[in-house]
Amino acid sequence: MDKYAYWTNHPDCVQRTWIEQVTNPPTAGTVRWYHIEFDLTELLQLGDLDGNGSTDGLDLSRFAQDWLAEGDCLTSDLDGDDLVNYIDFALLANDWQH
């Protein structure tokens, strides 16, 4: 069984794509390909700004550095509106200690 996996990074989501070739017994030579994509953003904690698997004081410290900043590509801009404000803080707080 051949398996291929790769990451696709999009600006608004990260996708994991899994392609698998499966020979379907009992018919020799019959091959089926499965192409499955799913979005990992639901698995990731928005508030985990440093990517260590937990929303903690390190993330809060990073968030405080970006507080009320405006612009694109801000790490602490969790809702994507190019502004770090109370809405982003609420999203960070929702993931606190998880």
**8 in the same domain as 37:** yes
Domain span including residue 30: 2-42
- Average pLDDT value for the chain: 73
Give the 3-state secondary structure of 67-88. Answer: CCCECCCCCCCCCCCCECCHHH
- 89 inside domain: yes
Look at the chain and report how many structural domains it folds into: 2
Q: What is the pLDDT of residue 14?
A: 45
- What's the confidence (pLDDT) of residue 1? 38
- Report pTM: 0.57
Are residues 38 and 6 part of one domain?
yes
Q: Is residue 63 part of a domain?
A: yes
Which position has the higher pLDDT, 27 or 75?
75
Q: Per the domain annotation, does 76 fall within a domain? A: yes
Q: Is residue 31 located within the same domain as residue 62?
A: no
Query: pLDDT tens digit string along 9-48?
Result: 444 444 444 445 555 554 555 555 556 665 555 557 888 8
